[in-house]
Each structure stands twice: as C-alpha cells, then as structure tokens.
C-alpha cells in the first residue's frame, strides 16, 4: 500500500514508519493522521511484524506539531471533532496496539508531535531532540491526549510547568524526567531502536501484547489494573507460547515463540 505522507520499510520482522513531510517539518495534518491509522492497522494485522519504529524524515524534526493552517478557522464543534477523531483514529489506537511501538524522536517533537510520541509504548531521543507542548501560546490546549499522558510520564508538577509555560525541554531533560527512555547520538538512533526491538522480539508476542494491555489498564478510568492483570495472566496459561516458554526453560534452550 502506498501512502502520500509516509515511508514504510520492513526488515527482520520490524517495521519502520517514517512520517515524510520534510518541507513541513513532518507536521500532522488530517491526511497524515489518516495514513498513519491505515498503516498501523495494516501492520497490526500482520503477524510477521513483531515491533514498529515510528520516526520522522530529515534531521530537523520527528513531528514539529499539528498543521495549524488546517484548523485556524475552526468552530467549537469542529474543534471537538478534530480532537475526538484524532484521539480515536491514531493516538489511542497506537497506545492500545498489541504490537509494541517505539518512537524514535529525531529532532523537534512539539504539540501533536510530542503527543504522538507519548502515545507510543516508549520513546528514544537523539541528542539534538527538543520536546514541548506549546499549545497555550496559540490560545489552545493540547487536544490529542497531551494533558493526560504527560503527567502520567513525568508527574503533575512538571507537566503543569511544561504545558503552562509552553516551553521546550532538551533530550537530556526529557531523559531526566522520564519522558524518554534513552538518549543516543543522532546517527545511532534507529540502530538503537532496532536493537531494543530485537530484544522484545525474543519474547512471547502473546505475552508482550497482554503486558501492554494490563499496563495501560491502570491509567484508564473505570478499569481495575489488578483485575485486568489477573485475567490476562490466567489466559497466558492456555497458550502455545506458555508451553514453549516453560518447556524451553526446563530444557535449557532458547524458546521459539509463535504468538499463539
């Protein structure tokens, strides 16, 4: 499948999605959100794909924000629809994927760009990366989950400061606060993310998917994370992966998982 604003490559069961709007610093517009939704849906159905890396084209930006020209004249109702559809089609969709998604932040991740990175299961930044939620400087607030996910990652006080000042943080500051998992030299970013993906792929795909679901449950209103964990833990006992994993451990060999 061809995408207007994306480049997708697959190698050794890892898919890399590159947002490809370099002249717009990879800003998110409706078309790109739609492309991303279709791409993630397609990859999620492919059992051969065991991990996904998401990054931006060029050396300047992961995603430098939303495409402001698209919504500068929106009404209240249109603003409501923009946020609701975006969250459902892309940000919540990524967060709930059973296939792990790693954000490779290769430059500016601002506004919707940082919200996109935060929807991924974890984040790795290049040394030149800068992150922020500058929406209040436009008379807006983050609308793609930023007011919810940022406090979850770095705490309420730091999130309040970032959002209310509309300021940017460096990659090193983001690492110190837990916003990103690691900072690596620019040239090593994708290789590092691939190495992490390969480590994940040694484990049971079924168990990885259930782990993502149970971790997320703790942050969802009306969900009891402990109950979700108990049920998911129990379901693992009925899988081929469980039988293979325990047998391989007892036989002192490497497990070969199928995801079933």
Q: How high does pLDDT run on average in the chain?
A: 96
Q: Verify that 185 and 211 share a domain, yes or no.
A: no
Q: Closest by alpha carbon to 82, among 24, 23, 135?
A: 135
Q: Which of 59, 78, 85, 135 is catalytic?
A: 135
So what's the pLDDT on residue 80?
96
pLDDT tens digits for range 144-188: 999 999 999 999 999 999 999 999 999 999 999 999 999 999 999
Catalytic one of 11, 70, 115, 229: 115
Q: CATH number of the domain at 122, please.
A: 3.90.226.10
180 plus 59 within the same structural domain: yes
Residues 209 and 184 in one domain: no
Let me know: does 93 contact 43? Beta carbons within 8 Å.
no
Q: Are residues 235 and 113 in the same domain?
A: no
Best CA proximity match to 143, nearest among 203, 82, 209, 223: 82
Distance CA 108, CA 201 (A): 29
- Residue 20 belongs to what domain range? 6-201
Residue range 36-67, pLDDT digits in tens: 999 999 999 999 999 999 999 998 999 999 88
Residue ranges in the chain modelled with pLDDT below 70: none
115 is catalytic: yes
Residues 179 and 211 in one domain: no
Contacts of 24 (CB under 8 A, 6+ apart): 64, 67
177 with 101, same domain: the answer is yes
Q: What pLDDT, on a 0 to 100 scale, did the predictor assign at position 249?
A: 96
- Confirm whether 135 is a catalytic residue: yes
């Amino acid at each position: 499948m061809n995408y207007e604003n994306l480049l997708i490559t697959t190698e050794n069961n890892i898919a890399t999605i590159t947002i490809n709007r370099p002249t717009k610093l990879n800003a998110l517009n409706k078309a790109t959100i739609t492309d991303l939704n279709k791409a993630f849906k397609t990859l999620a159905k492919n059992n051969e794909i065991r991990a996904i890396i998401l990054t931006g084209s060029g050396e300047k930006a992961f995603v430098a924000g939303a495409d402001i020209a698209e919504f500068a004249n929106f009404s209240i109702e249109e603003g409501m629809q923009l946020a609701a559809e975006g969250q459902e089609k892309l940000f919540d969709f990524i967060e709930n994927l059973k296939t792990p998604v790693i954000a490779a932040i290769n430059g500016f991740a601002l506004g919707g760009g940082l919200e996109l990175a935060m929807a991924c299961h974890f984040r790795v930044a290049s040394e030149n990366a800068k992150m922020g939620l500058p929406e209040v400087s436009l008379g807006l607030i983050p609308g793609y989950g930023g007011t919810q996910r940022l406090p979850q990652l770095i705490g309420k006080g730091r999130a309040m400061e970032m959002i209310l000042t509309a300021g940017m943080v460096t990659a090193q500051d983001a690492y110190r606060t837990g916003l990103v998992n690691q900072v690596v030299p620019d040239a090593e970013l994708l290789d590092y993310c691939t190495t992490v993906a390969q480590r994940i792929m040694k484990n049971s795909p079924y168990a990885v998917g259930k782990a993502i679901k149970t971790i997320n449950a703790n942050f969802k209103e009306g969900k009891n994370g402990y109950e979700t964990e108990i049920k998911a833990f129990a379901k693992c006992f009925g899988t081929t992966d469980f039988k293979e994993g325990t047998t391989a451990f007892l036989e002192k060999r490497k497990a070969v998982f199928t995801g079933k």
